[in-house]
């Protein structure tokens, strides 16, 4: 399981000219699910993200977590994170989870996030989405489990 996380002041997802998810201050997650991923990886990744101290304290040091600031999450499925670009010019997606398993783990991740964070918004799994965000910093991390 892979995640690209970005500290944002705002972020949104639009599908067919309609905003389907939108947050203010928080973290936007691009979530890639691969073959053999399980709830164990999802749980680890979620705990890491919500506890990661990437928000500034009063001394402008990254010392606060998403929980500390009561921030929001925007979770967007991104199967292209499983893409392998090492050979040729066209990415291979051989390591991406099969559709039903990817959807099941994505839904599990989102449901688990809703138990920990007050505001959790999402895109639409497998939809053509337009993602907009204001990256705060910019602060971006890549996490894998």
Q: Which residues are catalytic?
A: 78-80
List the alpha helices (DSSP H) in the chain.
Answer: 39-51, 66-69, 99-116
Contacts for 138 with CB less than 8 Å, ≥ 6 apart: 6, 7
For residue 139, count CB atoms less than 10 angstroms from its CB and return exposed for 0-12, middle for 13-18, buried for 19 or more.
middle
Distance (Å, rounded) from C-alpha 125 to C-alpha 83? 17
């Amino acid at each position: 399981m892979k995640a690209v996380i970005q500290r944002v002041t705002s972020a949104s997802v639009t599908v067919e000219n309609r905003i389907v998810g939108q947050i203010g201050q928080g973290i936007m997650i691009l979530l890639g699910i691969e073959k053999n991923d399980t709830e164990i990886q999802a749980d680890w990744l979620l705990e890491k993200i919500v506890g990661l101290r990437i928000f500034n304290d009063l001394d402008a040091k990254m010392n606060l977590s998403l929980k500390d600031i009561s921030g929001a999450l925007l979770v967007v499925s991104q199967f292209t994170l499983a893409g392998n670009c090492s050979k040729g010019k066209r990415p291979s997606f051989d390591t991406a989870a099969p559709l039903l398993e990817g959807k099941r783990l994505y839904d599990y991740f989102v449901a688990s996030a809703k138990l920990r964070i007050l505001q959790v918004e999402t895109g639409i799994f497998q939809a053509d989405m337009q993602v907009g965000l204001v990256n705060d910093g910019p602060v971006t991390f890549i996490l894998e489990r």
